[in-house]
Structure 1
Amino acid sequence: MTDTQISSFLSDCVVFDDDTEEGLDFDTLYGLYISWCVLGRKVPIPDSAFRTALELEGLRARKDHGQRVYPGLNMVGAAARDYVMNSVPVWTETDNRVPVVTQLSEDSVPSLR
């Protein structure tokens, strides 16, 4: 089998755990893929093509509360760190009543090493 961009992404960024029903939803998995592409200076494919490529790799999603979830998948590696750091909001208070979302930067959090 030839090594495709998606198979490389999966081997770099995803670990499989058959013993769990938890997993990654499609939006998280695609966001992780986008982070992997940015870090590797690769051109990402559209989300519809990504979904098809996952199926060709043998991954099947199940519906969970209206979301496609890929059971047993967990994210790892540099792309996972990048995805989490750039997608999780930090809440701060400006007037003791209204929270404001700010973007995380690598300089604003301790090293993950």
Structure 2
Amino acid sequence: MTDTQISSFIRDCVVFEDDTENGLDFDTFYGLYISWCVLGRKIPIPDSAFKTALQLEGFRPIKENGRRIYPGMSMVGAAARDYVVNSVPLWSESETSVPVLSDIAEEPVPSIA
């Protein structure tokens, strides 16, 4: 059997667990794949081809709350770290700036007598 790009990715980045409550949703799975491609300087396939490749590898998602979940899977390795670090939303300046006076609830100021 020849080793495909997808099978190499799965071998490098995914562990299988018996706990079926855990899993990867399709967007996370594909994002992990993109990180793996970037780190390995590989050209990624489009998400529709990725979905087909997963099916050819025998992976079948389940529907959960309108999302496709691949149960029993967790991400590992350098691509997982890269995906997590680069998936954290950036703070906007307004979230990190000092509160404006109008944002602070008015409380009576004690008088000094």
TM-score relative to the length of structure 1? 0.80
Shift of the 96–20 alpha-carbon distance from structure 1 to 2, 3 Å rule, reads: farther
Instruction: State the partner residue of 2:108.
Output: none
Q: What letter corresponds to residue 57 of structure 2 in structure 1?
A: E
The separation in 1 between residues aligned to 2:13 and 2:49, in whole angstroms, is: 18
Instruction: State the partner residue of 1:77.
Output: 77
Q: What letter corresponds to residue 65 of structure 1 in structure 2?
A: N
- Measured after TM superposition, the shift of residue 90 of structure 1 is 4.8
Post-superposition CA distance 1:78-100 (Å, at most 9, x none): 00000000011254422438xxx
SS of aligned partner of 1:20? coil
Instruction: State the partner residue of 1:65.
Output: 65
**Structure 2 residue runs without a partner (length 5+):** 101-113
Q: What letter corresponds to residue 94 of structure 1 in structure 2?
A: S
**2:97 maps to 1:94:** yes
Instruction: State the partner residue of 1:109.
Output: none
Q: Indicate the structure with greater strand content.
A: 1
The separation in 1 between residues aligned to 2:78 and 2:84, in whole angstroms, is: 10
The separation in 2 between residues aligned to 1:77 and 1:95, in whole angstroms, is: 38
Q: What letter corresponds to residue 44 of structure 1 in structure 2?
A: P
The separation in 2 between residues aligned to 1:86 and 1:75, in whole angstroms, is: 15
Pick the structure with greater CA Rg: 2
TM-score relative to the length of structure 2? 0.80
The separation in 1 between residues aligned to 2:24 and 2:87, in whole angstroms, is: 15
SS of aligned partner of 1:85? helix
For residues 3-82 of structure 1, what are the structure 2 equivalents within 5 Å? 3-82=3-82
Q: What letter corresponds to residue 64 of structure 1 in structure 2?
A: E
Runs of 4 or more, structure 1, over 6 Å off, are none
Name the count of aligned residue pairs: 97
SS of aligned partner of 2:55? helix
The separation in 1 between residues aligned to 2:62 and 2:97, in whole angstroms, is: 41
Q: Greater relative contact order (Cα 8 A, min sep 6): structure 1 or 2?
A: 2
Q: Which range is displaced more, 71-80 or 82-91?
A: 82-91
Q: How much identity, in percent, do the aligned residues show?
A: 74
